[in-house]
Amino acid sequence: MTTYCGYIALVGRPNVGKSTLLNHILKQKLSITSRKPQTTRHSILGIQTEQAHQFIFVDTPGIHQGHKKTLNKMMNKTALNVLRDVDVIVFLVDGHHWTDEDDYVLKLIKRTETPCILAINKIDKLQSKDKVLPIISKLNELHDFNAIIPISAQNGSGVQSLLSEVKQQLPESPHYYGEDQFTDRPTKFLCAEMVREKIFRLSGQELPYSTTVDIESFKEEENLFEIHALILVDKPNHKRMIIGDKGVKLKEISTSARKDMEKLLGKKVFLRCWCKVKSGWLDDERLLKHLGYDN
Ligand code: GDP
Ligand code: MG
């Protein structure tokens, strides 16, 4: 059997639905935890194998505007390198609004020669299907896209068409990962991300990159995992926001993260979370490397 395998960068500004789309694509595999160690070219987010075709979705850590902080600088350099190196880019936008941040991502894409598929997400929010045509023709002017596909990451419509467009760009190649492998990231990293996700969701405010999570201890006992997560913030008022009144917020964050971890690990989890202020961590290159932000 001829096999195909390639790297796909899923890019777009915050909130366009990247995580929702990826979860939709990988959903049936989210509970599998087996992983084989592999050497990788990129930081990999998700792997999906459909018979002859293996899709490897790679992370382009925060394509962000602003160049002041070391973290942003590192990330933008990484982002451009990733975009140049993958086989295909999926550029996710929200059909309703085009913002400066979308423009910024498009500029990065234009600095590459990589084939790019535009996915217009959240079409379930459009009142009628006719409304999508003018959006498509407008966005078509912006770049020489290989395809433009309207989708809803939430209900899955259009996602198969998107994947078949992506498929056509995957080069002939052996598969790099096992059929049932869905990520190459260490479990510890996924657990840290789970805590981070809850902070984003539950703190009611976006604190992108001013909060990070370090799993300080990760022990597997017979019946449970004991996990200690340290939440690092940049400012004392952020710490107050995360801890909340009488610690209620932090409790909520850790309960919700613990449930996700139990699903992932298939065992009971004892999770301890605490929060510490470390001013200037955004500029601390050594700490960032320790936390896995370098590529
Ligand atoms: P990301 O920041 O790009 O990863 O975006 P998320 O996947 O976290 O999604 C941001 C918000 O948009 C969440 O509240 C999602 O539930 C919502 N969302 C994502 N995809 C869709 C969609 O297709 N339709 C609708 N109505 N909402 C969506
Ligand atoms: Mg996301």
Q: What is the pLDDT along the chain (295 residues), one digit of tens a residue?
A: 899 999 999 988 878 888 788 888 886 444 433 333 333 345 667 889 999 999 999 866 556 554 455 556 666 677 788 899 999 999 999 988 888 889 888 998 999 999 999 999 999 998 887 888 888 999 999 999 999 999 999 999 999 999 999 999 999 999 998 887 777 777 788 888 889 888 877 876 556 557 888 899 988 888 899 999 999 988 888 898 899 999 999 999 999 999 988 888 888 999 999 999 987 666 676 666 666 665 4
State which H helix or E strand residue 213 sits in.
strand 211-220
**What is the rounded distance in angstroms from the CA atom of residue 128 to the CA atom of residue 130?**
5
Q: Are strands 224-233 and 268-277 parallel, antiparallel or unpaired?
A: parallel
**What is the rounded distance in angstroms from the CA atom of residue 267 to the CA atom of residue 262?**
5
Q: Evaluate whether 55 touches 166 at the Cβ level (below 8 Å).
A: yes
Q: With a 6 A CB cut-off, is 157 part of the ligand 1 pocket?
A: no
Q: Evaluate whether 18 touches 172 at the Cβ level (below 8 Å).
A: no
Residue 15 Cα to ligand 1 midpoint, Å, equals 6
The predicted pLDDT at position 40 comes to: 38
Q: With a 6 A CB cut-off, is 15 part of the ligand 1 pocket?
A: yes
- The encoded tokens of residue 143 equal 């770049």
Q: With a 6 A CB cut-off, is 14 part of the ligand 1 pocket?
A: yes
At 114, give phi and psi (nearest 5°).
-75, 135
The predicted pLDDT at position 171 comes to: 97
**What is the rounded distance in angstroms from the CA atom of residue 225 to the CA atom of residue 29?**
21
CA-14 nearest atom, ligand 1:
2
Q: With a 6 A CB cut-off, is 12 part of the ligand 1 pocket?
A: yes
- CB proximity list for 180: less than 8 A, separation 6 or greater: 29, 32, 34, 49
Classify residue 27 by its DSSP letter: G
Q: With a 6 A CB cut-off, is 23 part of the ligand 1 pocket?
A: no
**What is the rounded distance in angstroms from the CA atom of residue 172 to the CA atom of residue 164?**
15
Residue 120 Cα to ligand 1 midpoint, Å, equals 12
**What is the rounded distance in angstroms from the CA atom of residue 60 to the CA atom of residue 38?**
19
CA-23 nearest atom, ligand 1:
7
**What is the rounded distance in angstroms from the CA atom of residue 196 to the CA atom of residue 223?**
25
The predicted pLDDT at position 39 comes to: 34
Quick one: how far is CA 191 from the chain centroid?
14
